[in-house]
Structure 1
Amino acid sequence: MVTLFERLPGEFLPVIPVLMVLLSLTAAVVIFPLPENRVRLRAGINLTAAVLKVLLVIALVPSVVADGARPEFSAPFLPGIELVLRVDPLALFFAGLSSLLWLLTTIYALGYLRGTQNKSRFFGFFSLCVTATVGISFSGNLITFLVFYELLTVVTYPLVAHWGTPESLRAARIYLRYALSGGLAVLIGVVWLTIYVGPVSFEAGGAAGVAELVRDQPMPALAIFVLLVGGLGVKAALFPLHGWLPLAMVAPAPVSALLHAVAVVKAGVFGILRVVHDVFGVEAAAELGVLTPLLVLAAFTVLYGSYQALRQEELKKRLAYSTVSQVSYVVLGVTMINELATSGGVVHLVHQGIMKITLFFCAGLFAEVLRAHTVTALRGAGRRMPLTSVAFTAGALGMIGLPPTAGFISKWQLGSGAVSSDQSWVLWVLVASSLLNAAYFLPVVYSLWFDEPPEPPEDPEGPRTTTARGPSEADPLRVKEPRSLVIPALITAGLTVLLGLVASLAFAPLQIARFIAEGVLG
């Protein structure tokens, strides 16, 4: 029997990306018609599919990263155009992130939604969301990417609108308008580029014919680049296309975590990586003169998002604007065109996802257990919910970039890349952003641990779920933290620290990011 640590047979490799897409798709098809009372069956289907997906990613690592295999599956789609699923290191990197965090978010969501209605609908669309994300990860050409990218828009709308309140329905409509407008821009760019150069495959150094287009017809090439990156910038929450993201925080906490750490925002920035690296190529993009303006826009977004986060009293909105800032670190790395910066941007794709999902898990716990939605309401929560507060503290320190967290590794790489490039001013952007990060996270951490907790008021509504959350006999102020919610938060908090400590080891995210950067920049 082939173990996960042996090389898989070559003929089996192309099947794996298809299996990974079909796993979550099949889970969705089975879950949608399930009655609400089939709790164990629904949980079993979700967890089985999520665990299998993680195992398949692990099985691909030796062949793709160590042996250089590039498994590919294709099927006819349109005349002369095929749907292509291909596994390269960047695809595996993103698929690994989404698979691991899908598993943890599933565990969290099962506990969070206990006792609520419409769980089959939620988990059905939840699985479709992961189907689209994995499809985006493994897309081997622009058409395949576009199909899954638009699917992601459609299936996340019901998740944002899940509670069915006027506020959530309004936020979902705004999200849909933004996302469909961005998708239309991407569609026009894909069709236009296909007319000029034919079907566009993702290739290291740029797709065939694109460099010639940049050289011979720079104005159409510039317009296509703007359409593609501008459309993707909606989901990536680049300024001024970020307005949907803070509003979408009315969604359930697992959806917020999904939007910020796994699916929507990451799909946008992953698409920008693909356009710059594998459609235009960094040399052609530099020749076109688009990288410096994109770098300046990303730098402004980093500072703007941090400033807006500082102004927010509501915890989830503070985290949302933090995402606006932090995701643009990836774009900073892409546009500085050196291996240090590129590896810093690519590794931040994973590091930011793990740190941010930790914070959203904790925000959901604070809201669910303490009914605390604002920064002020978290006073003394470290005594009332110590495990959740430890996890939040780890995530917050990681976002600031303090050693030995994963956030420090990302920022160190980006800062080193800025110093060794012609854009050394980016270092000061990183410093300013880190100071702003500290300004809006450290007061929360201080309040958690050093402010006196308020006397817990009587809650006439009672807890939303059936999980026991009564006071502890040893400490009347301490409440019981639901294990199904706090364990995923502690795991991701542990990873926030662990990935900083083991960054130099083989197969650590930083080493894979360096491998990807070397391939991109030669």
Structure 2
Amino acid sequence: MSAEILLLTTLLLPLVGAAGIIIARHTPDIREGITLLTSTLIAILVLMIAARFMDGEQFTLTVMEPLPGIAIAFEIEALGMLFALVAGLLWVVTSIYAIGYMRSHNEQNQTRFFAAFAVSIAATMGIAFSANLFTLFLFYEMLTLATWPLVTHAGTAEAKRGGRTYLGILLGTSIGLFLLAILVTWSLTGRVDFQHGGILSGHIDPAWAGLLYALFLFGIGKAAVMPFHRWLPAAMVAPTPVSALLHAVAVVKAGVFTLLKVTIYIFGGEFILSNDVTGGLIWVAAATILIASMVAMTQDNLKARLAYSTVSQLSYIVLGAMLASKAGLIGASMHIAMHAFAKITLFFAAGAIFVASHKKRVSELDGLGRAMPVTFAAFFIGTLSIIGMPPFGGMWSKWYLGLGAVETAQLLLLAVLMISSLLNIMYLLPIPIRAFFSKPESGEHYSNIAEAPTPMLLAMVITSTACVILFFYPDPFYRLAGLAAGGY
């Protein structure tokens, strides 16, 4: 299969799968079989592309050129390949989990759910493989619109309110700020394509470069940098598989991925470092890391606590991008993968707890670990990876982020990372500890509570095992992160 056909197939297959899901809407077994088949094929295709890319093959595809010099085009580079691997591999696992969750919880509108899920992955692949800012922006907006029905899936007043917040912030920031930043870039340089080393050097006064970077930083609302983060906790009204999609597979990772692309391929690390482009902006990321962690500590609702944890963890990636050193960019790129596998494990566990026990609050989990040992063991592993403890994959991304802070002599930022890890311990580790070692509330017995359905357990076992494997074998993600960071 030629490179162009392979790339085009990967982009279109999820849309074909979505159509198949709708056609099979009256036959749940076939509908869900199509979901599993499509997600499995995407994982295989992404692995094939990754192998050929690492062997030096180039993947480019131009679909059309609506304006002179501005094309809908795709090209695979190292950072996009890393993001596509994360999304492609985790879609399979999330599909397995979602089938178990949706069936056991008797959710309504399951066809719409799985179809929108597939369209969201198509948009994610489009973002990963975009060759320029124009193409990326189109698929960025497509992802927002495709995930909105998932956020409002329940149809309740709370879900609709969360959906309005979700859509309002993400569309408002992208159209008001991100699109403006793209237009400014095009007016300055006459181009919007991604290039190693960036395209802005020599085209913009360094004194104004920080303002342009700020437009990108706050315009890419999916990165959830404060104060444009409220959409993320608001979206927690969605079913847990959607939370997993938002927090690990697609939406938030699309945000930080986009900011990394802009940093590396529009500004260029050397330009940022030599002109102190990010300046005080980097402290916005540092503040988000600490403030979101402290808010997470106050949340009794488990999904809300995990949501604010995600806001904090995303700004690790934002901080690494703005450090702009090689180690910082490697750490930021690797954190896309390492956080994805760990956080999706935590959300899988939260959904399993809800399905099996109908409990949503941390304060209700005392002693539940003895009834659901696999679920809370997976939660414990995901927690340790988020904290950055060995032998779990989260250690490597935090290690390189710390090196990036040292490399740029930003010792206060190193302190922020260390304090944040301590806060991670304080708001995450008590959850499995109280589940295993605390006594249930007076008069409450868990004899009628068992583990969640097998597909949900299988998904948790896969992702928690991956957290361990990525400590001993981080090479695929490390090599891609190194290629991206070393490009300038």
TM-score (norm 2): 0.95
Q: What do residues 233-262 of structure 1 show as CA deviations (whole Å, max 9, x unaligned)?
A: x21110111111111111000000111111
- Give SS of 2:391's match: coil
Q: Percent identity?
A: 39
**Aligned counterpart for 1:199 among listed residues 183, 188, 191:** 191
Give, as a single letter, the amino acid of the residue that structure 2 aligns with 1:444: I
> Distance in 1 between the 2:412 and 2:338 partners?
23
- Give SS of 1:446's match: helix
Give, as a single letter, the amino acid of the residue that structure 1 aligns with 2:20: V
- Give SS of 1:239's match: coil
Give, as a single letter, the amino acid of the residue that structure 1 aligns with 2:204: V
- Give SS of 1:85's match: strand
Q: What do residues 438-494 of structure 1 show as CA deviations (whole Å, max 9, x unaligned)?
A: 111121121011012348969xxxxxxxxxxxx8xxxx3551431011110111011
Give, as a single letter, the amino acid of the residue that structure 2 aligns with 1:193: T
C-alpha contact 1:383 1:453 (8 A) present in aligned 2? no
- Give SS of 1:453's match: coil
Q: What do residues 58-86 of structure 1 show as CA deviations (whole Å, max 9, x unaligned)?
A: 11223212x33321000214121211111
Quickly say closer, same or farther: Cα 1:239–1:122, change in 2 above 3 A: same
User: Corresponding residue for 1:54?
Assistant: 43
Q: C-alpha displacement at 1:287, in angstroms?
A: 4.8
Give, as a single letter, the amino acid of the residue that structure 2 aligns with 1:488: A
Would you say 1:19 and 2:9 are equivalent positions? yes
- Give SS of 1:206's match: coil
Give, as a single letter, the amino acid of the residue that structure 2 aligns with 1:71: F
Quickly say closer, same or farther: Cα 1:308–1:245, change in 2 above 3 A: same
Spell out the pairing of 1:215-226 with structure 2 (5 A cutoff): 215=205, 218-219=207-208, 221-226=209-214
Q: C-alpha displacement at 1:146, in angstroms?
A: 0.6
Give, as a single letter, the amino acid of the residue that structure 2 aligns with 1:479: A
User: Corresponding residue for 2:487?
Assistant: 519
How many residue pairs are counted as aligned between the two chains? 484
Give, as a single letter, the amino acid of the residue that structure 2 aligns with 1:190: I
Q: C-alpha displacement at 1:288, in angstroms?
A: 4.9
Q: C-alpha displacement at 1:90, in angstroms?
A: 0.9
User: Corresponding residue for 2:330?
Assistant: 343
Spell out the pairing of 1:374-389 with structure 2 (5 A cutoff): 374-389=361-376
More off after superposition, 337-346 vs 378-387: 337-346
C-alpha contact 2:210 2:278 (8 A) present in aligned 1? no
Q: C-alpha displacement at 1:281, in angstroms?
A: 1.1
> Distance in 1 between the 2:395 and 2:211 partners?
36
More off after superposition, 437-446 vs 249-258: 437-446
> Distance in 1 between the 2:20 and 2:147 partners?
18
Give, as a single letter, the amino acid of the residue that structure 1 aligns with 2:115: G
User: Corresponding residue for 2:470?
Assistant: 499
C-alpha contact 2:77 2:484 (8 A) present in aligned 1? no
Give, as a single letter, the amino acid of the residue that structure 2 aligns with 1:125: A
**Aligned counterpart for 1:143 among listed residues 134, 146, 164:** 134
C-alpha contact 1:222 1:288 (8 A) present in aligned 2? no
Would you say 1:370 and 2:357 are equivalent positions? yes
Quickly say closer, same or farther: Cα 1:342–1:438, change in 2 above 3 A: same
Would you say 1:235 and 2:203 are equivalent positions? no
> Distance in 1 between the 2:24 and 2:238 partners?
23
Q: C-alpha displacement at 1:218, in angstroms?
A: 4.8
Quickly say closer, same or farther: Cα 1:441–1:480, change in 2 above 3 A: closer
- Give SS of 1:261's match: helix
C-alpha contact 1:31 1:124 (8 A) present in aligned 2? yes
- Give SS of 2:20's match: helix
C-alpha contact 1:105 1:488 (8 A) present in aligned 2? yes
Spell out the pairing of 1:149-228 with structure 2 (5 A cutoff): 149-184=140-175, 185-207=177-199, 210-215=200-205, 218-219=207-208, 221-228=209-216
More off after superposition, 446-455 vs 300-309: 446-455
Q: C-alpha displacement at 1:498, in angstroms?
A: 1.2
> Distance in 2 between the 1:375 and 1:260 partners?
19
Would you say 1:510 and 2:481 are equivalent positions? no
Q: C-alpha displacement at 1:305, in angstroms?
A: 1.1
> Distance in 2 between the 1:382 and 1:452 partners?
10
C-alpha contact 2:81 2:480 (8 A) present in aligned 1? no
Q: What do residues 372-410 of structure 1 show as CA deviations (whole Å, max 9, x unaligned)?
A: 100011111211111111100000111111111111111
- Give SS of 1:148's match: helix
Q: C-alpha displacement at 1:174, in angstroms?
A: 0.7
Spell out the pairing of 1:321-340 with structure 2 (5 A cutoff): 321-340=308-327
Give, as a single letter, the amino acid of the residue that structure 1 aligns with 2:195: E
> Distance in 1 between the 2:174 and 2:451 partners?
44
User: Corresponding residue for 2:452?
Assistant: 481
> Distance in 1 between the 2:210 and 2:66 partners?
26
Q: C-alpha displacement at 1:371, in angstroms?
A: 0.8
C-alpha contact 2:278 2:322 (8 A) present in aligned 1? yes
More off after superposition, 133-142 vs 481-490: 481-490
> Distance in 2 between the 1:274 and 1:226 partners?
15
Give, as a single letter, the amino acid of the residue that structure 1 aligns with 2:166: Y
Q: C-alpha displacement at 1:49, in angstroms?
A: 1.1
Would you say 1:32 and 2:3 are equivalent positions? no
Q: C-alpha displacement at 1:291, in angstroms?
A: 1.8
- Give SS of 1:84's match: strand
Q: C-alpha displacement at 1:414, in angstroms?
A: 1.4
> Distance in 1 between the 2:155 and 2:449 partners?
32
> Distance in 1 between the 2:233 and 2:322 partners?
26
More off after superposition, 282-291 vs 304-313: 282-291
TM-score (norm 1): 0.89
Give, as a single letter, the amino acid of the residue that structure 2 aligns with 1:60: I
- Give SS of 2:204's match: helix
User: Corresponding residue for 2:115?
Assistant: 124
Q: Which runs of 5+ in 2 are unaligned?
A: none
C-alpha contact 1:229 1:275 (8 A) present in aligned 2? no
> Distance in 2 between the 1:64 and 1:496 partners?
25
Give, as a single letter, the amino acid of the residue that structure 2 aligns with 1:17: L
> Distance in 1 between the 2:181 and 2:400 partners?
32
C-alpha contact 1:383 1:478 (8 A) present in aligned 2? no
Give, as a single letter, the amino acid of the residue that structure 2 aligns with 1:195: S
C-alpha contact 2:224 2:232 (8 A) present in aligned 1? yes
> Distance in 1 between the 2:451 and 2:243 partners?
23
- Give SS of 1:76's match: strand
Q: C-alpha displacement at 1:512, in angstroms?
A: 2.7
- Give SS of 1:425's match: helix
Q: What do residues 196-246 of structure 1 show as CA deviations (whole Å, max 9, x unaligned)?
A: 322311111113xx212224x853x544332222111x2111011111111
> Distance in 1 between the 2:425 and 2:252 partners?
23
> Distance in 2 between the 1:368 and 1:316 partners?
14
Q: C-alpha displacement at 1:132, in angstroms?
A: 0.6
C-alpha contact 2:21 2:32 (8 A) present in aligned 1? no
- Give SS of 1:75's match: strand
C-alpha contact 1:153 1:179 (8 A) present in aligned 2? yes
Would you say 1:272 and 2:259 are equivalent positions? yes
> Distance in 2 between the 1:456 and 1:485 partners?
29
**Aligned counterpart for 1:254 among listed residues 232, 241, 256:** 241
